[in-house]
Amino acid sequence: MKKAIYIFLAAACLSSCDSFLDEPMKGDYSTSTMYSSAEQAELAVNAVYNAAAYSINLWKFGDIPSDDSVKGGNAGDQADLGYIDEWNVLSDNGAVAEFWQNTYETIARANNAIAGIESSSIDEGVKAQLIGEAKFLRAFSYFQLVNIFGEVPLKLKPQSTEENVHVGFYSVEDIYEQIERDLTDAQVLPASYASTETGRATKGAAYGLLAKAQLYQGKYNEALASINSLKSLNVYDLEDDYADLFRLGADGVSNGNSIESIFALFFLSDQVPALGNALNQWFAPSAEGGYYFNAPTQDWVDSFSEKTVDGTDDPRIDASIGREGVEWFGQGPFQKAWAPTTGYLVKKHNQPLSEVDAGRKGDGGLAYIYLRYADILLMEAECQNELHHPELAESPLNDVRGRAGLSDITGKTEEEMRTIIREERRKELGFEFHRFFDLMRWGEDAAKEALGAEFPWEAPRYYFPVPQTELDSNLGITE
C-alpha cells in the first residue's frame, strides 16, 4: 500500500512539473509592467534616491584635498584617500572608481525611470512630478561628476543598447547645459510635500541647485534670477540655532526637515538591512566605534579669529568640530587623544551615543544637508559682488553673519568683500563637502594661496582622473 502511494506521488509530480516551473516570480516587475501604475513608477524613482544616498561620500573630494582637513584615520588605512589628500591620484585609485561607479548607477536608475514613466499611461500630474524628481537627481549626479572629473560620458538613455552603453566624453560646457535643462524641467515639482513625503526633491531644490550650477560657471545674473525664484517661494529661512542643523530634533525628527534645508539625503536608522548614515562611523573617535577620518586642520580652526559682538567664540566652530576641553555631546570634554592626526574631529555628522551606540555607529539617522539657505544667501552675496555691487552683497552676507553673532559688514570695496565672502563660506559651510570645489572655481591664485604653491594646478583647474576601469570598458572613449 505504501509503495502504491509513493508511485502515485511521483506520477503526480512528473505530470505537474512543467506548470510548476513556469510559475512567474512573485514580486518581480518586468520592464513592460513596471510602470503600469503610479505606485510602481514611484518605486522606480525611490530607487534613484536610494542610489543617490551614496553622495554622502563627497567628503572624500570636497574636504580631504582641501585646506580644511586631512585624511585622518590610521596611517595605513584607506591609502587611496591618502593619495587624494596629496593630490597624487592615479586612474587606478579605488575611492575614485567607487564614486564614479555609484554615481553612474544613480544616473542609470534615473534614465530608466524617466524613459519608463514617459511612456506610461499614469496620471499626467503624477508623471510630471516623478520625472521631475528623476531629472533633479540626474542633474545632481552630473553636477558632482563634472566638478570632480571635468569631461565625462553624458548618458541620458537606458543602458539597453551598445550605443547607449559606450558613450564618449562630453565637454564641461555640454554637461552643464544638460544639468541646466534637467533642473529647468524639474521646476514643475511642488514647493513642499506632506510630512509623509519629506525628502523628495522640490521646486526650491531645483532653483537652488540651478543657481549653484550657474554660479560655478560664472553666470552671475542667471544665478541671481534662480535665487530670487527660490526666495519668492517663501519656504526657507535660517535656523535660529546653527547647531540645530546637525542634530535630531527633540522629537527625533530628522534635521533634514529644517526650515533651512533645501535638499538633503535622508537616512533611517534601526532598519534591517541597515539604511543608516555611515558618516557617523567615518568621523567618530575610535572609543565610540568610529574611524576618525576627515580630520580638521589647525588652519581651519585658525580661520575663526573673529569674535562675536559679545566677545565669545564664533558658535560655528564648536558646532562643527570637536576640540580639546569642549563638551562632546554631553559625554564630557573632548580629548585631543581621540584625534591623533590633528587633534580635532568633525562633529557635524556625528550623533551622541544615546542615539547611535558604538556597536552600530555606521547606522546614523542624521540627514546630510547638501544645500541649505545659508549657502543660497552666500551665493547671492558673491553674485552681487562679482557684478560690482558690493553694497548689495551686504544684506545676505550679514544675515548669515548675524546668526553667528558677528557684526555687520559695511562699506567694503569689491576686493575686500570678495575676501570676506570667501572666508564666510569656509566657516559657515565647513565639513559640508564644498570647500575644494569652491577653491577650484575661484581659480589658480585662490587655490595656491589656500593649498600651497606646490598644488598641481593645470588649467582650467585640477580634475581627478577618470577611473581606468571606465577607460578599459567604455568603447565610446577613443582618446
* Domain total in the chain: 2
Mean pLDDT for the stretch of residues 324-340:
95
The pLDDT value given to residue 315? 98
Q: What is the DSSP letter of 57?
A: G
Mean pLDDT for the stretch of residues 104-121:
97
- Domain shared by 341 and 460, yes or no: no
Specify if 366 maps to a domain.
no
Residues 6+ apart with CB under 8 A from 376: 208, 211, 227, 230, 231, 236, 262
Q: With contact defined as beta carbons under 8 Å apart, do 280 and 361 qualify?
A: yes
pLDDT more than 70, % of the chain: 93
The CATH number given to whatever domain includes residue 171 is 1.25.40.390
- Domain shared by 152 and 46, yes or no: yes
The burial of 267, by beta-carbon neighbours within 10 Å (0-12 exposed, 13-18 middle, 19 or more buried), is given as buried
* Amino acid in the structure at residue 471: L
- Domain shared by 49 and 184, yes or no: yes
- Domain shared by 181 and 317, yes or no: no
Specify if 284 maps to a domain.
yes
Q: With contact defined as beta carbons under 8 Å apart, do 389 and 233 qualify?
A: no
**Span 271-291, pLDDT tens digits:** 888 899 999 999 999 999 999
The pLDDT value given to residue 9? 35
Q: How confident is the model at residue 156 (pLDDT cuts 50, 70, 90)?
A: very high
The three-class DSSP label of residue 263 is strand
- Where is the domain boundary, 328, 354, 380? 354
Q: With contact defined as beta carbons under 8 Å apart, do 255 and 248 qualify?
A: yes
Q: How confident is the model at residue 216 (pLDDT cuts 50, 70, 90)?
A: very high
The pLDDT value given to residue 367? 96
- Residue 237 CB neighbour total at 10 angstroms: 12
Residues 6+ apart with CB under 8 A from 231: 376
- Residue 329 CB neighbour total at 10 angstroms: 17
Specify if 23 maps to a domain.
no
- Where is the domain boundary, 305, 335, 354? 354
Specify if 161 maps to a domain.
yes
- For residue 162, the enclosing domain spans 36-188+440-479
- Domain shared by 43 and 143, yes or no: yes
Please determine, for residue 17, whether its predicted confidence score (pLDDT) is greater than 80: no
Q: With contact defined as beta carbons under 8 Å apart, do 339 and 322 qualify?
A: yes
- Domain shared by 283 and 180, yes or no: no
Please determine, for residue 108, whether its predicted confidence score (pLDDT) is greater than 50: yes
- Domain shared by 184 and 283, yes or no: no
- Where is the domain boundary, 354, 374, 407? 354
Specify if 123 maps to a domain.
yes
Q: Could you tell me the CA-to-CA distances from 18 to 11, 28, 424 in Å, in that order?
A: 13, 20, 70
Specify if 270 maps to a domain.
no
- Domain shared by 347 and 448, yes or no: no
Mean pLDDT for the stretch of residues 46-71:
98
- Domain shared by 170 and 303, yes or no: no
The burial of 468, by beta-carbon neighbours within 10 Å (0-12 exposed, 13-18 middle, 19 or more buried), is given as middle
- Domain shared by 40 and 145, yes or no: yes
Specify if 311 maps to a domain.
yes
- Domain shared by 176 and 49, yes or no: yes
How many residues does this entry show for the chain?
A: 479
Specify if 382 maps to a domain.
no
**Span 417-448, pLDDT tens digits:** 999 999 999 999 999 999 999 999 999 999 99
